[in-house]
Structure 1
Amino acid sequence: MTSPRLPTQWPLAGLRLTTPRLELRLPGPDELSALASLAAEGVHDPAVQPFTVPWTDAEPGQRARDVLQYHWRCWGEWQPQNWVLNLVVLYEGAVVGMQGVSARDFAVCREVSTGSWLGLRHHGRGMGTEMRTAVLHLAFAGLGARHALSGALHHNAASLAVSRKLGYRDDGIEHHAVRGEPALMHRLRLTAEQWQYQEHIPVKLDGLTECLPLFGLDRV
């Protein structure tokens, strides 16, 4: 439960992104605990590692603790010139996953990157597209971004499909080592112009104005 004073002291606590099915917001202690438990249950088929940082290979208890520490670390290290916003995703009031958006020198570069995961039992319901749409709306319509970047390993068909559906275009490749084996990552880029000329589900933003200084902005 959020303290009534917290949104004043830390405006991000009052930020809300709402889509037809989902709500995205900074997690409170109970929601962060639920997110950690969801990660412990499983995020993907354990036979295939979709992340370049294989955090999901840890045993369930460690995986849960890693989720907690990652969120705490991002909050503690937040700077307007270098920020990572991790939002818990709720469906019908229940935590189903996490959607992140991050940037360095955003006020100058106007470029963001996104990353996300859903609990394994929530896959295949179109939530990945809806939650990415929410943070892209935040980035482009709310913060005035000019570019959004994403990336997925070649075998991560679900993530690549979300990016293609939302209009991203190829932006090169990277080579990574995952589980001791070479892995090819596809980089993708979406411009504000490409985003503007597509139809999207409606997204409502609440509490953004108070947060702008934390993103390095005095206005959009």
Structure 2
Amino acid sequence: MPTTATPLSAYPPLNVQVHTPRLSLLGATDELLERLVPTVRKGVATEPPWPFDDPISLYEDSPEREWRWLRGVWSGRGRVSASSWRLYFVVVIDGEPVGMQDLIGVDFATFGTVTSFSWLSPDVRGSGFGKEMRQAVLHLAFEGLRAREAGSDAFVDNRASNRVSEALGYVPNGVSWDTRRGEPAQVKCWRLTREQWAEQRRDDIELAAVADCLPVLGIDPSPR
């Protein structure tokens, strides 16, 4: 199982790590973000399925693309409260950053629900890493943060993301709408309960530094 030694930050969310046999999710420090810049620089979306309209969507030419992406992560890291938080992780494979996996909670202390967001370098797509990333972040959500439910949304033509959700036991949860390139498009919604996750729970995923992060997110650290 991979292990990655990184200097401890004074800010607990940056110290959280998730390790699987194939990859690691590491708190998105500035050092790791800088190492991801070349991937963002070459990763502009040029064909369907188009990504969500989001500060990190890869549409604009360089350097505006990198600037928007960095500003989006920095802004999100700075807006953390018990009512709304987003944990940013850099996906590391064989020591190299190749993408990001985020975990988002809104009124988590009340509802216990999370959603996830991710992107992966085209160079490593098609090898099962998208599924592995999702399994890693779900382990953090359910085992580390004691979530009750996880949701995932993907445009209806994003077959890869929708296949991952289906393979991991999510069930369809209706449809909604969002924009991409400024145009409306239909989104397929998925839902995974704690009980459904437990049916496929893995015993080879390790968490690090989660306990210190709980108070930052407004989560009661006492056992349930």
Q: So what's the TM-score if we normalise by structure 2?
A: 0.90
SS in 1 for 2:53: coil
Displacement over 4 Å in runs of 4+ = 1-4
Contact 2:82 2:107 in 1 (8 A): yes
Q: Say if 1:39 and 1:211 are closer, same or farther in 2 by CA, change over 3 A.
A: same
- Distance between the aligned counterparts of 1:115 and 1:109, measured in 2? 19
Task: Name the counterpart of 2:102.
Answer: 100
The one of 199, 202, 211 aligned to 1:200: 202
Aligned residues: 216
Q: Say if 1:70 and 1:201 are closer, same or farther in 2 by CA, change over 3 A.
A: farther
Once the two structures are TM-superposed, the CA of residue 80 in structure 1 deviates from its matched residue by 2.4
Task: Name the counterpart of 1:167.
Answer: 169
Task: Name the counterpart of 1:155.
Answer: 157
Identical-residue share of aligned pairs (%): 36
SS in 2 for 1:53: coil
Task: Name the counterpart of 2:43.
Answer: 42
Alignment of 1:18 onto 2:12: no
The one of 70, 73, 76 aligned to 1:71: 73
Q: Say if 1:107 and 1:199 are closer, same or farther in 2 by CA, change over 3 A.
A: closer
Once the two structures are TM-superposed, the CA of residue 176 in structure 1 deviates from its matched residue by 3.1
SS in 1 for 2:191: strand
- Distance between the aligned counterparts of 1:103 and 1:143, measured in 2? 10
Output the aligned Cα RMSD.
1.8
- Distance between the aligned counterparts of 1:178 and 1:214, measured in 2? 32
Once the two structures are TM-superposed, the CA of residue 47 in structure 1 deviates from its matched residue by 1.5
SS in 2 for 1:96: strand
How far does the alpha carbon of each residue in 1:124-182 deviate from its partner, in whole angstroms, 9 at most, with x for none? 11111111111100111111111101011111000001111111110001133433544
- Distance between the aligned counterparts of 1:217 and 1:199, measured in 2? 22
Q: So what's the TM-score if we normalise by structure 1?
A: 0.91
Q: Say if 1:117 and 1:150 are closer, same or farther in 2 by CA, change over 3 A.
A: same
- Distance between the aligned counterparts of 1:196 and 1:43, measured in 2? 37
Unaligned runs of 5+ in 2: none
Report the AA paired with residue 27 of structure 1.
A
Task: Name the counterpart of 2:52.
Answer: 52
Contact 2:172 2:188 in 1 (8 A): yes
- Distance between the aligned counterparts of 1:202 and 1:102, measured in 2? 23
Q: Say if 1:177 and 1:90 are closer, same or farther in 2 by CA, change over 3 A.
A: closer
